[in-house]
Amino acid sequence: MNATVITAVLLDLDGTLVDTAPDMGAALNELLSDYDLSPVDYETYRSRVSHGAKGLIDLGFGTEFAEQNFTTLRHRFLQLYAQRLCRETRVFDGFLQVLDILEARGVPWGIVTNKPAGLTEPLVEQLGLMKRATCVVSGDTCARAKPDPMSLLHAAEILQRSPASCLYVGDAERDIQAATAAGMRSLVASYGYLDAADRPDAWRADGLVESPGEILDWIDAWHSRSRY
């Protein structure tokens, strides 16, 4: 088989496969309420969700206070988030159809996220995706998380695919850095949680998609080019 053919698709979770912003933002605002601080509006916190607990805590409390009290704040934030893990979280529109088509084509797909397993696995289970995903690699599955390529290489090993034949889709620069270091093709999910300051064109991904369905379009176009 031509090494350039995409034989597996790996996906970031927050901001790529799943829209977790409403629940993560609500947890942040509950935490801010504990400290009698004003809530952060949706449009402001949405772009920070891909940066996880630290990014949201820095946003809500300011970097100095967040750094001084990070362990306490993170512990409480994760407690609050776990209590509402999947109240408003949904798979991005159109992505279930993409997964259906990948499965119909016999292309395995998996999840590689920096989210800890204690949150990732129950969330994926509640969304009905745990039995469908060929692998779920969390931020604490391996010794090093993205942008290190270790978790992506681990996923490729589980899928029994060469890294060169895997496509990774993510919405943060560290996703593209990890994919590049792993020797995988990569796409930026521009519909995800990009910040106004982000410059995805400079991340050197293989492409950029504005909706989940465009992932399939890109794969089809890539395979057409690889024949020549």
Catalytic annotation, pick one of 12, 19, 23, 175: 12
Q: Cβ distance 214 to 194 under 8 Å?
A: no
Catalytic annotation, pick one of 14, 58, 171, 175: 14
Long-range (24+ apart) CB contacts under 8 A made by 153-156 are: 153/182, 155/10, 155/110, 155/112, 156/8, 156/10, 156/182, 156/184
> Which residues neighbour 99 within 8 Å (Cβ) at sequence distance 6 or greater?
109, 129, 132
Catalytic residue check, 14: yes
The H or E element that residue 122 is part of is helix 117-126
Q: How many other C-beta atoms are found inside a 10 Å radius of the C-beta of residue 57? A: 25
Distance CA 193, CA 113 (A): 14
Catalytic residue check, 12: yes
What does the DSSP 8-state code read for residue 100? H
Catalytic positions, written as ranges: 12, 14
